[in-house]
Every structure is written in structure tokens, then in C-alpha cells.
Structure 1
Amino acid sequence: MGVQKKTRKFAQVKRAISLRDSRLKENHAKNDQKNNAKKDDIVREVPQVSSALFFQYNTALAPPYSILVDTNFLSHTIQHKLEVIPSMMDCLYAKCIPMVTDCVLAELEKLGQKYRLALRIAKDPRFERIKCDHKGTYADDCLVDRVIKHRVYIVATNDRDLKRRIRKIPGVPIMSVARGKYVIERLPDAPEK
């Protein structure tokens, strides 16, 4: 007596059709519905361009400048031992109003003991506080969203990813700490050095 084979014969395996087979009519109907739903989701609308923009030139930017400050900008300022407001005025040759959103303050508080000096600077009465009306406390999204809505801000940051996101928004200058002083980029009438 021989051992009985447990594998099925090839012809029997070949004959079976899976439920996902493309030849079934039910699957054709489901695929058509999915394709139609995808076509309906496409929005063919260009976002409204700010009226303050004249090509890349932002006409809404004028002294006194409103500067949105980010967490790492404050930490770099402390590392380089710079005074915030006098350094901003030296960079822009005009009056500056540093502004801090609730998200930036929350982020500084989350960072803990290491950033206590940056938090104390951010709570300075000369800094203007901006209330956030969105959910979550991610500061980068908050700053980008605020700049898109109102093109009257200069964004002060040293964060590489945030700079990359802001460069995609036309007419928004970026201030950062470099070589022991503040540097501005993309401000139309900035003095070249």
C-alpha cells in the first residue's frame, strides 16, 4: 500500500475562480463606482490670491513690522546672546513688534526646564500675544496658517522645514539668526550687505 497524496490535482486548482477575479460582473460594478467617486473628489479651484501681492512684492508689509516668532528662533537668540527687539530694529531699520502665538508658548512650556529662559523672553510684555482659534498646539502649522490668512507678518524662525514651507508662500519674508546677528530674506526693500 502506498501513501495517499494530499495535494489536489492541477486541473482542480486551475478551475477555481477567486472572488476578486476581474472577470466577475460584481467586481466591474464596484470598480466603476470607485473611479466615479475619485473623479468627483477633484476640486478644480485655484485659491484666491491676496490683494496685497503685486507679483512677489507684498504691499501690506510696512513699518511697524509685525514679526511672528518661533520657538527655535528664541533659542538661537539666547545661544548667540542677542537682545530680541534691538536686534530686529538693527536688521530692519524700523520699529518692530514681536508677536507670539499661544501654540509657540505651549511648545516652549512643553520643552521644559531647558527652554525656561526662552519662555521668559516670550512672556515679555513688549511681545504681543496672539490667540489661536484652532485645535492642537503644533506651532509650525499655526504659523503657516496665520501667514497664509494674513500677509502682514514676517516669520522669525531657524527651523529648516518651516522655512521651506514658508518659501512656498509668496510675499512672506523670513527672519533668522545667522553669524551672530539677525538676517532677513525675501524682504523687497531689504538693504543688501
Structure 2
Amino acid sequence: MGKIKKTKKFAAMKRMISLKDSRIKPEQREIKKKKKDANHQEIQIVEAPQYSSALFLKYNTQLGPPFRILIDTNFVNFCIRNKIDVIQGMMDCLYAKCFPYVTDCVLGELEKLGTKYRIALKVVKDPRFERLPCMHKGTYADDCLVQRVTQHKCYIVATCDKDLQRRIRKIPGVPVMYIKDHRCTIERLPDAFGAPKV
């Protein structure tokens, strides 16, 4: 004999005690009415953030050579793993001069990772990389990079971290550089050589 299959009831809800039930106290029986604000009749003004006039949809028209590139910790690690010279790889991608920038948070994060990442730390301490001082608390590099990019739209962010890429894509006018197929690739910069063909 086969078992009878029981199907679940569609849109079944939890049973609730009605307000007329004897178990409910009289104070709880009253349905609370929402108070209307006096300002409800007035027109509400919502301030929208003002975007730069340099933005054309999601592209930043003012970005041009020489490019300023903010580098994340994992981008340096991936460059070493794929045997790519960081500055040369960026220049091959953009066909222009690049200035790599490293924040104090990124440097601190690399120092925390220990001896395993000492080569990446040595690469970042190269005099060709410019240091940017951080004034905020903590050493979480992702928040630091996102904050810096929202304030100044003159940077390209170089990262291979998927979560950070997702956060930066929400900010209009900021291109993201990452490593794909053993070379640097960039998105949101259509003029670049390394931009993926659509």
C-alpha cells in the first residue's frame, strides 16, 4: 500500500486570538490609532544628492590620463600570483600613464597579514606608489576606499574583491579594475584597451 501524500495548504496563516477573547486584558483590546501629524498637510521637501556635471549616465567624462588608481590589498596579491608587474599591467590595460595610490589602511592590512604576504608589502612600499594618509578610525580598507571614492570621483579602484566591487558599482562614475585571464581588465571606462568588449 502506498502512502497518501499530504499537500500543504496554500497561504496558510498562523491562528491569532481575536480581540473579543476573554483571555485578553481590557487595556490590550483597544486598537491603537495612529496619530496624524500637524505637518501632514504640508508639502514635504526631499533633498536629493547633487551629482557631478562630469557624469554621463554611469561614465565619468572627466577621467583622463594620467590615471589615479587606488589599490586594494588583494589586487597586489593577485598580481603577484599571476606574475604581473602592477604598474606595467595597469599601463598595458589603459594605454596611459598611471599613478598608483595606497592608503594607510591597505598598508596596515598587508602588515597584519604577516610573513605570507611580505612580497606584496615590499611591492606596495615601492617609491613609485604614492601614500594617502587616513584620518578615520579603524583599519578596514574597504570602507576607507569607498569613502574616499564617494568624496572624490577622480580615482579608479583596483580590486579583485567581489563584495567591494559590488559596493563600488553602486557609486556612479567610478571605474573598477580587476584581473581576468592573467591581465588587468577595467569596467565602466569604454575608451580603455582593457575594457571588456560588449
Structure 1 length normalisation: TM-score? 0.79
- Offset from partner CA, 1:141-185 (integer Å, 9 cap, x none): 111111111111010000001111111111111111111111111
**What is the DSSP-based 3-state SS (H/G/I as helix, E as strand, rest coil) of the residue aligned with 2:184?**
strand
Match for 1:48 among 47, 50, 71?
50
2:30 paired residue number? 23
Is the contact between residue 63 and residue 96 of structure 1 (CA under 8 Å) also seen in structure 2?
yes
- 1:8-157, aligned counterparts within 5 Å? 14=22, 17=25, 21-23=28-30, 28=32, 32=35, 44-157=46-159
**Structure (1 or 2) with the greater helix fraction:** 1
Structure possessing the higher radius of gyration over alpha carbons: 1
Decide whether aligned partners of structure 1 residues 178 and 16 sit closer, same or farther in structure 2, where only a CA change above 3 A counts. Answer: closer
Whether the 8 Å CA contact 1:52–1:151 is kept in 2: the answer is no
Q: 1:15 to 1:185 in 2, by over 3 A?
A: closer
Cα displacement (A) at 1:45: 2.2
3-state SS of paired residue (1:188)? coil
Dislocated runs of 4+, deviation >4 Å: none
C-alpha distance in 2, partners of 1:175/1:49? 22
Amino acid at match of 2:148: R
Q: CA deviation at 1:14?
A: 3.7
Unaligned runs of 5+ in 2: 1-20
Q: What aligned pairs does 1:172-187 form with structure 2 within 5 A after superposition?
A: 172-187=174-189
Q: How far off its partner does 1:72 sit?
A: 0.5
Residue 122 (structure 1) shift = 1.1
Q: Identical aligned pairs, as a percentage?
A: 59
Gap change, CA 1:43 and 1:140, over 3 Å in 2: farther
